[in-house]
Amino acid sequence: MRQIVLDTETTGMPVGEGHRLIEIGAVELVERRLTHRNYHQYLNPERVVDAGAFAVHGLSNDFLQNKPRFAEVVDEFLDYIRGAELVIHNAAFDVGFIDAELKRIGYPPLAEHVDLVTDSLAIARHKHPGQRNSLDALCRRYQVDNSDRTLHGALLDSEILADVYLALTGGQWDLSFDNPAETATGGQAALGTIRNDRPRLRVIAPEAEAVTAHAEWVERLRTADAAFEWPGVGS
């Protein structure tokens, strides 16, 4: 099972007012294990970043002006996510922006490139009704370290969301002891064999007094059990 945990940053909102993508970040999970095959791209939005959005992510117009446009990187992006299940927090927001970018250059919508889109916010609301289910709130609930998150960033947020999603959907972060990257590429498991010439473990035998005391305790239990009349047993 291949999953892509994805996040975006934008010039503002809503998408219906012409706001654009400025950053896409994603991490890959294979069989619920991080492969560390990430995707990260800043984008030139060809418009001004709103002051409110800049306060959230810190990506300025000057920083973005020399970055590639979405049309220049779309094929690489679609190759990365193709056929996977996307995991997105508040998926309608990110999907709306990606679909708008795809439509602008004449590409089919996101749903035609991926197998499924899963909204982790919907999962969290179902599991924790009536509680705060922002990414920061879920980090606190599941003890996921987000201390580096002073500003929003698509790649950092997708890495944090991957940890939150794994905890949210069962708490089993790793289904085996295999090395994640090697398993994802069909390599050997990380577990090594135990050498026959390894140092032997030291065996500490109990003292004679302890053996005698234990035998006496077991005998007392046996005698007490034999003398007890169990309800419903016998004539």
Residues with catalytic annotation?
152
User: Cα 234 vs. chain centroid, distance in angstroms?
Assistant: 59
- DSSP strands (E only) in 57-198: 85-88, 116-119
Radius of gyration of the chain (CA): 28
Residue 125 to residues 96, 133, 145, 215: CA-CA distances in angstroms?
Answer: 21, 7, 21, 56
Contacts by residues 176-185 (CB-CB < 8 Å, ≥ 24 positions apart): 178/33, 180/30, 180/33, 180/34, 180/35, 180/36, 181/35, 181/36, 183/30, 183/31, 183/33, 184/28, 184/30, 184/33, 184/35, 184/37
Asked whether the beta carbons of 100 and 133 are under 8 A apart, the reply is no
